[in-house]
Amino acid sequence: MRTTQKTMAGLLRAGMYLIVALTAGMGLGACTTTTIDEFRQGDTGLNTGESVVILGRRQGAAYETASDFVECVGTRMGRGNGAITVVPEQIFVDALFPWFEPRTAPMRSEDLQQLMAQPLVTDKMAEFGVRYIVWLDGQTETTNRMGSISCAVGPGGGGCFGFGSWEDDSSFEARIWDVSSHTAVGTISADASGQSYVPAVFVPIPLIARVEANACNSLADQLKLFVQGG
């Protein structure tokens, strides 16, 4: 009886050491690399009372820009130092229905000129004080899924054992249009990638690389500087 207890305690201790070692090792590994590129085509700046709207591109058949990501960028731009007034996507799209739907949204900055010729559209834009429209286009893809985790539950308890990992790649592009001049003033792209791990010894420990969150934060910070003319 005592021998069995000792063996169980030894196993538990070994398991704990393994978890600590894996956590420490993978904690370093679950990092994200983010690259931001900026291309400026015109001068920018925001006057008092002017705002920005961030819209997701959803014309593609293969993917559509997630509304969560659009919301994340908007929220980040709207807080902290030099916070900008950001019009929420859904409120803007509903207020300007049917001009910013996937089928009808302007694809090129030249189309904006045509759209702004509609008095009802101009009035709504003025109501929101929109100076810049930011079109976000991109997605996060998960690749290189490896490993497996098995879990079992019995009368005496349960547990998991195994190891899983995957890689996330986020690639987003923001095109900025100036509503006052109907021109494209720049493009900012954000590429982020990172490896996530889930070691499991009795309990699964997810070590998730915050790839999309990092892409969102970096892109939002850069956009904030860009529209303010920085």
Partner 1 sequence: MRSEIRTGRISLWQRRFRAMVLMSLGALVLSACGASTVVVEGTYPSPNIPPLPMTLGVYYSDALRAHVYTERTDAGKDEYLVNSGGSHVELFNTVLPAMFQQVVVLDDPAMANERGVDAVFIPNIDEFQLGMPQKTRLDSYEVWVKYNMRLTAPDGGYIADWVMTAYGKTPQATFGSAEGGINDAAVAAMRDLASNFSISFTSVPDVRDWLQPRLQ
For binding to partner 1 (CB under 8 A), which residues are involved?
64, 66, 94-99, 101-104, 118, 120-121, 124
How near is the Cβ of 97 to partner 1 at its closest, in Å?
Answer: 4
How near is the Cβ of 99 to partner 1 at its closest, in Å?
Answer: 7
How near is the Cβ of 144 to partner 1 at its closest, in Å?
Answer: 18
| Residue 190 bridge partners (DSSP) | 36, 172
**Given the complex with partner 1, which of 123 and 229 has the nearer CB atom?**
123
Question: What one-character-per-residue DSSP string does 182-209 give?
Answer: TEEEEEEEEEEEEEEEEEEEEEE--B--
**Given the complex with partner 1, which of 115 and 215 has the nearer CB atom?**
115
The residue to which tokens 């529209």 are assigned: 227
Q: Which two tokens stand for residue 93?
A: 């799209």
Taking a C-beta distance cutoff of 8 angstroms, is the pair 223, 176 a contact? yes
Q: How many helices (H) and strands (E) does the chain have?
A: 6, 6
**Given the complex with partner 1, which of 98 and 156 has the nearer CB atom?**
98
Contacts of 34 (CB under 8 A, 6+ apart): 190, 191, 192, 214, 215, 218
**Given the complex with partner 1, which of 9 and 126 has the nearer CB atom?**
126
Question: What one-character-per-residue DSSP string does 122-140 give?
Answer: HHHHHHHTEEEEEEEEEEE
The whole-angstrom separation of Cα 68 and Cα 217 is 13
How near is the Cβ of 63 to partner 1 at its closest, in Å?
Answer: 9
Evaluated on CA atoms 223, 71, 66, 93, the torsion sign reads negative
How near is the Cβ of 120 to partner 1 at its closest, in Å?
Answer: 4
How near is the Cβ of 212 to partner 1 at its closest, in Å?
Answer: 14
**Given the complex with partner 1, which of 130 and 227 has the nearer CB atom?**
130
**Given the complex with partner 1, which of 94 and 110 has the nearer CB atom?**
94
How near is the Cβ of 22 to partner 1 at its closest, in Å?
Answer: 25
**Given the complex with partner 1, which of 102 and 158 has the nearer CB atom?**
102
The residue to which tokens 């900012």 are assigned: 188
